[in-house]
Amino acid sequence: ETGVTQTPRHLVMGMTNKKSLKCEQHLGHNAMYWYKQSAKKPLELMFVYSLEERVENNSVPSRFSPECPNSSHLFLHLHTLQPEDSALYLCASSGGTGDYNEQFFGPGTRLTVL
Amino acid sequence: GQNIDQPTEMTATEGAIVQINCTYQTSGFNGLFWYQQHAGEAPTFLSYNVLDGLEEKGRFSSFLSRSKGYSYLLLKELQMKDSASYLCAVSDSNYQLIWGAGTKLIIKP
């Protein structure tokens, strides 16, 4: 595997389900990110981890819970979601969180909440 | 507040030149990125500008004017594969990327 991978690529879940999104980076980076991408809207930064420590949480509802067990893996745990949470969830990684920090993105998980 | 503006959609002809503009108002500036995103795919890095001027990379060039809070992406010799969304993002004072909504570029034969 190379770059940033995400699983699953597509997910349909009910409002009472619990599911998890997985991201893995094979680039030796120290920072990882979760973004939400909705149609015709800017990318919304949800969470940032640097060296496995959360450094940013942009007022994301508690029904989204991130986990970063090591610098290569990032999870987003989902529970009791709402239909408006349907979107593309993108994971990204970068060498660090300061200075020049080109981000490398995974292909995303297309989430549909029924 | 922080704001990035870019046109929602543009149309151009194969073989032509197109310029996609981006204006920004952010708390601090640590560089501006352009990314390309094909439908259903991940955004991929195109260019980075931190100093004023033009950066050229093959058919793509990116320009920055910090005093005007303005950048553009110039695509030359357009090909059908250039049909995609182009995302402008500014690194703010905390090195967080503030993203525009993206410009969908449609290339016609």
State which residue of chain A sits closest to B5, comparing Cα positions. A42
Indicate which of A30, A56, A100 best probes the interface with B, i.e. most B CBs within 10 Å of its own CB.
A100
For A13-35, how does the pLDDT look when each residue is reduced to its tens digit (9 = 90+)? 988 889 999 999 999 999 999 99
- Model confidence pLDDT, tens digit, residues B6-64: 999 999 999 999 999 999 999 899 999 999 999 988 999 999 999 999 999 999 999 99
Buried-state track A44-74, b at ≥16 Cβ within 10 A, e below 16: ebbbbbbebeeebeeebeeebebebeebbeb
Instruction: Tell me what the pLDDT averaged over chain B comes to.
Output: 95
pLDDT digits (tens, 9 = 90+) for B58-92: 999 999 999 999 999 999 999 999 999 999 999 98
**Stretch (H or E) spanning A18:** strand A18-25
Residue type, B107: I
For residues B92, B42, B15 and B75, what is the CA-based torsion angle, rounded to 10 degrees?
A: 10
Joined tokens for residue A65? 């819970």
Interchain CB contact of B101 with A (< 8 Å): yes
Q: How is residue A94 written in tokens? A: 């970068």
Give the tens place of pLDDT for each residue, A56-80.
777 899 999 999 999 999 999 999 9
Residue B5 pLDDT greater than 70, yes or no: yes
